[in-house]
Structure 1
Amino acid sequence: MKFIPLPFAVLGCSLFLFTIEANAASQTQIDRGEYLARIGDCTGCHTTEDGQSFAGGLGIDSPFGTIYSSNITPDKQTGIGNYSRDDFAAALREGSLPDGTHLYPAMPYTAYAKVTDEDIDALYAYFMEGVEPVDNEPEKTDLSFPFNQRWGIGLWDWMFATADTYEPNPDQSEQYNRGAYLVEGLGHCGSCHTPRGLFFQQKAYGAGDDHFLTGQTLGVWYAPNLRGGGEGDQGLQGWSEKDIANYLATGRNVHSGVVGEMISVVQHSLSHLKDEDLTSIAVYLKSLPRSTEAPSDDEAPSVQDKTDENKDTSATLASAKVDIDSGERLYLDNCNACHFTNGKGASWVFPALKGNSLVVAENPDGLLHVILAGAQMPSTPKAPAKLAMPGFGWRLSDKEVADLATFVRSGWGNDGDSVTADQVAEVRKGIPEKVLRDSAPNMVKE
């Protein structure tokens, strides 16, 4: 047997234990980075439906054309494998690549600018050591002139990319500040829920500006006002902190269910957040006072407290004495089984139509899209069932959909404008025929 002198044995053991501790710390940082990537919903933009994680190539529609996401795996040829930590931070916070190329602001670097150095380090560790490299060269973004002149983005950044690293508000609680950091930073909620200006710049980046999170329309979908403070009952004002946390975790609550782009956000990002982070987000949103600024283009939904009209609508439907071609009759034949005569739906299953932000949005396209093509809630760890609403575009004409939508937008105290058959036809054009054909009833998909 070979004996090792005690001092060397102790030194060797110490080095061994130090190595284990260092590796454990590294893995902890990688795991933290993975969680932060969930918060930032990096999968949502950098993974195609059938593609490998973070390999890029997803086409993102913008007012200027389609922007294709990049490969952010650590592949050295087609990804970010050659990025230093500072290269990574510059891309994330400033939208600037190592070769000086400016990223289009479809990448929410104006929000990611608020991310702390510690979280940048963790994200870098995850993407370099926790993500499998994928050799994939995504399609190049090729916008028309002048939007293909990326040097102009540098000027745009100088004018509008003003966000700095988040500084906690000393007058607020730790829970509030955590929620603010997540919403304003990695969560980049303002990218969809804050109005845009003339140059497509986000009008505000934090709670100090009344424009922040007041809602806007993106494509056919209305991203609603998220300011939940005050005593009213419009939107999140009528939701409790628990209602908000449940919605983020499962895509549904006693009031509503997610549709449109929010389905992916809940499925790939928010449903994986820790309960304490979801609660912090809810606390922050409920702290934001009702804004004095109207959303851009007067797109704020309007809901009136019309108790008598609510009763009248329910009574009319319950009597079943309505004209055969009326919106009321169409509702009874197609919607009443799930949303009921009172328009309140069923908690956690069928969203309420009374006061629903999608239903009463100034732009009805999102509602029309759901009626035509249906909708399916995401499968999440806390609510795995993919509850689905069938589409009715396969059997209802444009006029019938318009009459139905007009009734829903004006019933139970809702105060939405009427809808025309031409508006329905325009939305129908944007829905693939296969989607309309396959949207026949199938209420629960496992």
Structure 2
Amino acid sequence: MKTTLKALALAAAVTASFALPTLSHAADDALVTRGEYLAKAGDCIACHSTPHGKPFTGGLKMMTPMGVIYSTNITPDPETGIGQYSEDDFKRAMREGIAKDGHNLYPAMPYPSYAKVNDDDMHALYTYFMHGVAPIKQANREPDIKWPLNMRWPLKFWNMVFLEKGVYQDKTGKDVAWNRGAYLIQGLGHCGSCHTPRGIAFQEQALDESGALYLSGSPIDNWFASNLTGEHNVGLGRWSEADVAQFLKTGANQHASAFGSMTDVINNSTQALTDVDVAAMSRYLKSLPAAGGSGGPAYAYDAKATKVSLTRPANDAGARVYTAFCMHCHGVDGRGFAPMLAPLAGNPNVLEKNASSLINVTLNGTGDLVIGGVPAAYPMPKYGPVLNDQQIAEVLTFIRAGWNNGAPGVGAGDVAKVRKATQ
């Protein structure tokens, strides 16, 4: 009997010795998977990769008021990446913008947003980048910023003034979905990095809904990042929560379609999020009060421009260009064929005072939305090689005035400026 008990005990010990590593391995795999999801929520791949380059190896060119900077290699390569970063080093870079060797990162890295990410999520992200990403040796490029603006030590003072430390804390009186949405939008989603106006020191003028300008839209790299507040013309005031969710999952809805860098956000980030998280983000965004815009009356459709376009009067050059190049996709009535082809009548990006996005997308088209591995059937083509600056100015002026859009006209000089900057 004693021999039998000893044998059973030995067998149990041997079994446990094999089972524990297996359980630990399963836990590590789960943590890596969670970290991968969070990296998608943060859209890390979009900034830290180049088109057709290897993921997370950096090198993406970014324009800033100081000059050109290039994103860095964040693979776990020990020489050119973050392979020698401890978890504390990783957290400090993410939350405070300080690299392992102590130099300050430029605030193009959205560490003021990542400062809100909690410890559990930071741990999962670190685990993913160290164990779920392949190490790739690729040297980082030095910024192209002239002296004295290339000095990094003033960033220490920038952080003292503009960096708000502390992870996100749930707001009392708000439900679980609202707080989850706020955490994602303000933190890993870093939506304010593009959609919130910046001040003279390149700081976001608000980091959450307590600031009047938060997510009210902002010019960035020859585009205008859309207003995400409840403003009824240029913002999300006419959108439902379902409209917002559809846009985040597919890049298009009955009101608008994604363009510029937002296409990368949809392709690499928001479409991969769970329906629960997307619904939470939509809940939060729809709670934001109106900010920005012209303050005029709510948009109401008017068909007068349709008649102008159909009759093609000799004195309306914009209508002629629209009929020849735009009408077949966006409709003679300007209402498009949403969500496949964006409407222009009442589109918030058309109504926006700043026309840079319309000029840019007309000149250069936009990248394919790829949803579930399937590219969009009708991407916006490039008209820069086909239409001159005057023609583009005329057609955009016609569109911005037509169907009761009531937005300011566009000049040929405005088009020339964007053409030069984006060639």
> 1:303: how far off?
6.8
In structure 2, what is the Cα distance between the partners aligned to 1:327 and 1:146? 47
Q: Does 1:372 align with 2:360?
A: no
In structure 2, what is the Cα distance between the partners aligned to 1:168 and 1:326? 55
Q: Which residue of 1 aligns with 2:267?
A: 267
SS of residue paired to 1:330: helix
Q: Deviations over 1:137-165 (max 9, x none)?
A: 12112411222111110000000011420
What is the aligned-residue RMSD (CA, Å)?
A: 2.0
Q: Which residue of 2 aligns with 1:337?
A: 328
What one-letter code is carried by the residue in structure 1 that aligns with 2:286?
A: K
In structure 1, what is the Cα distance between the partners aligned to 2:329 and 2:178? 37
Q: Deviations over 1:298-337 (max 9, x none)?
A: xx46775565x7132223334x151165211221111111
Q: Which residue of 1 aligns with 2:241?
A: 241
> 1:418: how far off?
1.5
> 1:52: how far off?
1.3
Q: Does 1:109 align with 2:104?
A: no
Q: Which residue of 1 aligns with 2:309?
A: 317
Q: Which residue of 2 aligns with 1:212?
A: 214
Share of identical aligned residues, percent?
41
What one-letter code is carried by the residue in structure 2 that aligns with 1:134?
A: I
Q: Which residue of 2 aligns with 1:191?
A: 193
Q: Does 1:415 align with 2:403?
A: no
Residue correspondences, number = 420
> 1:46: how far off?
0.8
Q: Which residue of 1 aligns with 2:142?
A: 140
Q: Which residue of 2 aligns with 1:297?
A: none
In structure 2, what is the Cα distance between the partners aligned to 1:240 and 1:325? 36
Q: Does 1:347 align with 2:338?
A: yes
- Contact 1:303–1:413 (CA under 8 A) maintained in structure 2: no
In structure 2, what is the Cα distance between the partners aligned to 1:51 and 1:302? 44
Matches within 5 A, 1:36-75: 36-75=38-77
Q: Which residue of 2 aligns with 1:426?
A: 417
> 1:80: how far off?
0.8
In structure 2, what is the Cα distance between the partners aligned to 1:306 and 1:113? 38
In structure 2, what is the Cα distance between the partners aligned to 1:418 and 1:73? 46
Q: Which residue of 2 aligns with 1:89?
A: 91
What one-letter code is carried by the residue in structure 1 that aligns with 2:207?
A: Y
Q: Deviations over 1:182-239 (max 9, x none)?
A: 000000000001111111111111122222111111132111111137xx45421111
What one-letter code is carried by the residue in structure 2 that aligns with 1:29?
A: L
Question: Out of 98, 101, 125, which is 2:100 matched to?
Answer: 98
> 1:355: how far off?
2.2
Q: Which residue of 2 aligns with 1:119?
A: 121
> 1:170: how far off?
2.4
Question: Out of 195, 202, 205, which is 1:203 matched to?
Answer: 205
Q: Which residue of 2 aligns with 1:440?
A: none
In structure 1, what is the Cα distance between the partners aligned to 2:205 and 2:260? 23
What one-letter code is carried by the residue in structure 2 that aligns with 1:268?
A: N
Q: Which residue of 1 aligns with 2:33?
A: 31
In structure 2, what is the Cα distance between the partners aligned to 1:206 and 1:283? 15
Q: Does 1:253 align with 2:257?
A: no
Question: Out of 213, 222, 225, which is 1:223 matched to?
Answer: 225
